[in-house]
Amino acid sequence: MLMWARACGVPAHEYLDVDSASQQLIHRVIGAASGGEPRIGVDNCGAPCYQMPLSAAATAYLALVSRSQVESWSADHRASLSELGSFETLVERLVQIGVAMATQPAWVSGEATEATRLAQRFAGTLVIKHGAEGVLCVANRQQQASLALKALDGNVRALFPALLQLLQDFGWWEGSADPLFAELARPILKGPPGHTVGELRVAAPYTGKSPMQDAPTPAV
């Protein structure tokens, strides 16, 4: 955001100002990608963040892995982004961002997070990012589909067991004996002295359609 502010001629001390030219352009891109008008809030690092339905968040992530999704943006949304140059260039840049996020996940979520470790196992296929209050968004470059999860209580510990079950249910992953997948799918719970007190597991499989079958967009 700081680099983008400098590119837009915004003073460094104003780079988080929601009324600045750089943040306004970010807002319009996110609005176009999500298909709506997200509300702006502030996250715990002080940067502007966006409130939107989960379906809109999934649709926004789809723009990182699907050229056709970006090309389907409305004429109004395209016009609102004319400052960024040609629309064809914008499409290419968004796809490049998706490639970068999938191939270098440590720059997205940190070197040792569950999201990074899982993305590394999928070798450039998944764009994964977790956020505050139990939010997790995933886009699949091979399937050109996406999903967004939210733990209602805001606790992140249920996210990856749910995600691994969904990846299997959707046919994005066939299962593996890799210890990492077992660790994420059924994490062990420890008591204060360090002894095992239980584990988390998915109580029931997902019974809906996969994103690829879910009209009108492969986002769920």
Whether the per-residue pLDDT at 25 is higher than 60: the answer is: yes
| Residue owning tokens 């050229």 | 67
H/E segment holding residue 48: strand 48-51
The whole-number average pLDDT for the span 79-95 is 92
- Contact indicator for 146, 140 with CB cutoff of 8 Å: yes
Q: Which residue has the tokens 């569950």?
A: 114
Strands 39-42 and 188-190: unpaired
Say whether 203 sits in a helix, a strand or coil. coil
- For 20-24, 67-71, 111-115, 179-183, which range has the lowest pLDDT when averaged over its residues? 179-183
User: Does the pLDDT value for residue 216 go beyond 60?
Assistant: no
Q: Which residue has the higher pLDDT, 207 or 166?
A: 166
- Do residues 2 and 14 make contact, with C-beta atoms less than 8 angstroms apart? no
What is the per-residue pLDDT across 170-193, written as a single tens digit (0 to 9) for each? 888 887 778 888 888 888 888 888
Measuring CA to CA, which residue among 90, 48, 61 is closest to residue 219? 61
Residue 205 pLDDT > 80:
no
Residue at token pair 């966006």: 50
Kind and range of the H or E run holding 159: helix 159-169
* Residue 105: cis peptide before it, omega within 30 degrees of 0: no
Question: Does the residue 38 lie in any domain?
Answer: no
- pLDDT at residue 214 greater than cutoff 60: no
Residue 35, domain member (yes or no): no
Torsion, Cα 101 102 108 109, to 10 degrees, reads 170
13 in a structural domain: no
- Contact, 151 vs 132, CB < 8 A? no
Please indicate, yes or no, if residue 16 is contained in any of the structural domains. Answer: no
Question: Is a pLDDT exceeding 60 seen at residue 33?
Answer: yes
Give the pLDDT confidence score for residue 16 in this predicted structure: 94
Number of structural domains found in the chain: 1
Closest by CA to 136, choosing from 113, 161, 156, is 156
What is the DSSP track for 82-107? GGG--HHHHHHHHHHHHHHHHH-THH
Q: Whole-number mean pLDDT of the chain?
A: 89
User: Within a domain: residue 19?
Assistant: no
User: What pLDDT does 114 receive?
Assistant: 92
Least confident of 43-57, 130-144, 206-220: 206-220
Residue 69 in domain: yes
Classify residue 106: in a domain, yes or no.
yes
Residue 40 lies in a domain: no
- The pLDDT of residue 211 is 64
What domain range includes position 203? Answer: 53-213
Instruction: Answer with the residue of higher pLDDT: 57 or 212.
Output: 57
Provide the pLDDT for residue 215. 47
How far apart, in whole angstroms, are the C-alpha atoms of residue 123 and residue 106? Answer: 13
pLDDT of 36 strictly over 50: yes
Token output for 204: 């029931």
pLDDT band, residue 138 (cuts 50/70/90): very high
Share of the chain above pLDDT 90, in %: 60
